[in-house]
Every structure is written in structure tokens, then in C-alpha cells.
Chains A and B, each alone.
Chain A
């Protein structure tokens, strides 16, 4: 049990594209330990699916070395497949099969594994065991996909965006299933572009952008690396008559402020101590005669880490109107 669950060295994947090759994965190194829940966090097109599909043996890397449970693809494919479970980003199961029939089908592929009804119970689908796939809600179908990933009693399970498109309650149900699996000492590798999911579920996360890992660590560590613990967001009254809006830089000099950026309709400051920063901010606005429209404070999240690193939000739908410029202070493009 000494070896890691997964080891990846200098992984690259190129796709031919219209304007030159696309580097979907551009030099990734990873070590995932047994028993941890590891998250790959990144925006659309970051290379998450490409990476996990290479780990799952469904896609071949252009170059680089991959070891899964100490074994290599191309040599011990069948042995690896017996020991991993997979959900793909999108799979549609045949409409006219029942939950139980599908789970039984997949169980028959593994030489050892769990009883189909036990797995169905784990994902809380007992009441739907005899329902056709077409009668399941989106969340139930996702849980079915997870049940199938678990039915071979795998040591590692790969979940590609398991909760995308689900309502909060369904997401929580799935989180419980995933935590339960992790608590049995198994390894979870999941991709997501929900930072709250990564924060709550993952022991460690790798933030991926443009096929590269731009940050790696536990959610707490990554947040701590921001320096400050808090974000102060505020907006100015737009009816304000003053000619020029304030520049971002003008807030950097305030007490306890570490970084500043513009948001869709206002500003966001990373601060160490809100009780010092907020009075300083209010004084500054008072002096400039700029009335406040809104002011909130919150803890730093992985989203802020991502924005700080890339200057973009994690999900395209958030703040898609005008993507904010990168944090002043540690620009990176």
C-alpha cells in the first residue's frame, strides 16, 4: 500500500486544431494519495475531462507517464479497470432499462464487487430500483451513474462533473455518497467548476487552466496563500455626480488592504483585517464625496483564488458581462 493511487509526470495531450495544435493538457504533474478526495477545478475547456480520461485509460496522452495503483495503461488495462470506477461527463443510459437492470449489467462486468441492491441503497435509489431510466430525474440519473461507478467496489473512483446541472439538494445527496465512499478509505478524483463543491468535498484541489496546474493544495492552504482571509465588496452610488470614478489603485494604499480588483458593478478588496480596512475605506470615500450603494464582507473562497490567479471567473456564466481585470498586485496571464 506504499504506492500512490495515481502518479502523473509531465502529461501532455495535443489535439489538431484549425489554427495550430490545441494543447488540451500542457505538462501536468500530479500525485494523488490513497484515501484522499482530490479535485480538479477549472473553467470550461481547461483540460479537466481530457486529464481524467487519460487517467481512466479512455484517451491516450501525447506524452508523459501515468501510473494508476502502480500499474500502467497499455500493460495492465484489465487489471486497472477491475479496480477503478468511472462516471463520464455525459452518459445516457438506455431509456427502457430499469435502475436495477443497469446496475446488474455493470456488476456482471467485474469479477468482484457489490450486490446491486446494496449499491442502489448507497445512492438512495431503492424506491426507483424498478423504474425505467427515462422516468428518473437528472439528479437520480447522476446517482445511477455513480452507483455504476461503485458497483465493482473500486479502489479509485473518477467522477467527471458529477453535480453539474443539479439542484442544491441533489448536489448535497451526491456529496454524501462521495464522502461515504471516501470514508471507507477509498480514493476519489473529481472534476468540477463549483468552488464550493471543491472546498467542502476535497482534501486537495488542483486548479487547472489552459491545460496547466496553476495552484495545488488543500482548499484552506490555497485560500491562505491569498494572504488575507476576507473580501470586502462594495459598489458606489451611480447617481453620484462626481466626474471621475475612483481607480482601483487608490484603494491599495488603505490600511490592511492586500489587493483590489473591479467587479461587475463595483470593487472587491482582499483584506487582512476588516475592522481596520472598512473604516479606512469609509473615510476615503467620505473624503472623495462618493456615497456607498452597497458594502458586504465575506471569507475568501477558491473562486477568489482563481480570479486572483487568472483574472477570470471560474464559470463563464458568472460575471460574463465584463470579465474583471486581474487583481492589481499579482498579475498573471
Chain B
């Protein structure tokens, strides 16, 4: 029965073509996993990094150095995270000659130089355009002033947000899922079609009584088959390795992913509908994908872009997919909340498929 079903046979061709090429399997499943792991570790919560400080040797520098050493010792001894001092970074102080210290500052080897002056005064040398220099100056000054007896009249407490669900990795994983869906749709559908066209296979297919509908359905079926393991890998990684929560319904996550995959398959189809060389289609695909890489809020929030761009950004399918996934997974949003995202994705699917089928070139 299945043996003689063109739809099933075409679908099998697609699957085999994929799993028989280990390199492709790696790019689709291995690469995003590695990327999530790398970025997850790069941005995981760590104690604050020590501040580099060059102290100019001069009369009075001994007392200053002692103040920093005392700060570092207190820091090392405080075991409880509740102690407010645990949040300040240690200060790595090095005594140097003035010339050496200034040269190190100019060449960017140290962000801050502290030079003791007469009557307990001192001066800071730093480049204010370097954010870490200003930060270092602030912290060093606080430590120095408090050691000299300054008291802070208003008690403060720092509350740091490190709960699962609001960390960078939690933000990143839905972004990577969306990115994968886009790449898979465009390369998996668009590139394949152009390769088939270049190889004259599409022409060979239409010389048979093959139902053309089956060819496209098989392509979509295969696409959806690849999308789910892809989603599962990244979700599992997020949940098991980084403790990412899935607060909303998993079914809704899957529904969003499938709608997104269809929209991207449609875009892939449209991009490839007339291209006759792989160079042409690669160029077109990069043209389509690059704005979404940049604007759709995969790696950082798209809210930061200017107001005027926001309507464009909101209309991009990747923005909607990633935004929808984030709100379901991290905020527990329901169907009603993501209905606009779903609607925009469906609109992309319908429009791209309609155009692509009208202009599709088989030979």
C-alpha cells in the first residue's frame, strides 16, 4: 500500500536524504545544542569579577593598599550570601611606578590608576568611555571612603534575580528554537528545491504522472518531522541542564513551533520558487534571514530598537515565534495570549504558499 503511495515515497526520500548525511544531522541538531551550552555557560551567574587597579607608589600608598587588603580579607571571610559585602567584587591592587601605571592605562592593560596626593587626597585616572572603568572607579572609591570612616546614612539591600525563568539562558533557549526553525525551513525547503531544480530532478518529476501536490506535501511533512526532535532536543537541554521552566502548556509550545515551521517552509518555498542556481538562492536566503537574526530578539530583546522600527519587527515571523514561545514557556501564557502571534504566523504561511505556488518553476 505505502509502497505505491507517491506521497509516502517522496516523504521517505526526504528523510533518507537527511539522515544519511551525518554532517547535516550535526548542523541541525548538534550545532544549536552546542551553541546553547556554550552561551548558557558563558552567561551563567557568577560572583562578580575582581577589579584591576594600579596604585602609584608614593608616600601614603601603603595605607591605601592596606585598606583594599582588608576589604578583600573581609570578602573572603564572609560566607553568607546575605552579607551585603558578598556582592562587591574583590579588588586586585598592584603597586607600580607612576610611568608604568600610566602606560598600562593608555594601552588598556588596566582600567583604573589611583595616585595618592598630599594630605590624604588622591586622584583617579581612567577613560570614562569605558564602562568598566567608571564602574571600577565607583567601587574602589566606595571601599576607600568607607575604610576612611564614611558611613552610609541610608541602609540598602541588594536583591539579585537569579531564579530560573528570568536568566539569560531562559531567554536564549526559545530564541534558539526559533532560529533553528527558520534555518531549517529556509535551507531544508528552499535549498533542497533549488538543488533538485539544478539537477533537473524537478523536471524529471513533472515528466511523470506524479501529483504535484504530493511533492510539496511530502516536503512539508518531512519538515514537520524534523522540527519536533529539534524542539525536543533544545527543550530537554534547557530543562535538564539549566533548569529552565516550562510554565505554559507544552501542547501550545508545539503548536507554535509547527505554525512557525510552516511559515518558514513557505518562505523557503517562495525564495526558491524561481531561482535556478544555488548561489542565487543562498544569496536570497541570507537576505531574508539576516534582518531576522538581527531584529527578531533572538539574542537580546528587540525592544531596544527604535520605536519607528517596531511595527516592522513585530511583523517578522521570527519575532512572533520567539516572542510566543517565550511567553508560553516563561510566563505561562495561554492560547488567547499567543493568538496574535499564531495569526501572524498563519498569515505568513498562507501568503507565501499562495505566491510560491503561483510562480513555481518546475524546470
* Residues in A lying within 8 Å of B, measured CB to CB: 56-58, 78, 81-82, 84, 86, 88, 90-94, 96-97, 101, 104-111, 148, 152
Contact = CB atoms under 8 A, between A and B. Distances in A.
A57 B208 CA distance: 10
A256 B248 CA distance: 98
A136 to B, nearest CB: 15
B207 A94 contact: no
B200 A88 contact: yes
Contacts of B304: none
Contact of A78 (B9, B10, B209): B209
B344 to A, nearest CB: 35
19 contacts: A57-B207, A58-B206, A58-B363, A88-B204, A88-B207, A91-B199, A91-B200, A92-B201, A94-B13, A94-B199, A96-B20, A97-B16, A97-B17, A105-B9, A105-B10, A105-B12, A108-B6, A110-B209, A148-B204
B200 A90 contact: yes
* Closest CB pairs A-B (n = 8): A92-B199, A96-B20, A109-B210, A81-B209, A109-B208, A86-B207, A108-B9, A91-B200
A301 to B, nearest CB: 32
Interface of B: 3-6, 8-10, 12-13, 16-17, 20-21, 199-201, 203-210, 363
A100 to B, nearest CB: 12
B50 to A, nearest CB: 54
A93 B10 contact: no
Greatest chain B CB density within 10 A among A56, A107, A109 is at A109
- Grouping DSSP codes into helix (H, G, I), strand (E, B) and loop, the B interface class, with mixed when no group exceeds half, is helix
Contact of A58 (B5, B199, B207, B210): B207
B203 A58 contact: yes
B204 A86 contact: yes
Contacts of B205: 109
Nearest to B199: A92
Contacts of A84: 207
A94 B209 contact: no
B209 A101 contact: no
Contacts of B206: 58
Nearest to A93: B201
A118 to B, nearest CB: 14
B204 A108 contact: no
A78 B6 CA distance: 15
A106 B6 CA distance: 8
A94 B208 CA distance: 17
B208 A106 contact: yes
B291 to A, nearest CB: 32
B203 A88 contact: yes
Contacts of B4: 107-108
Nearest to A79: B209
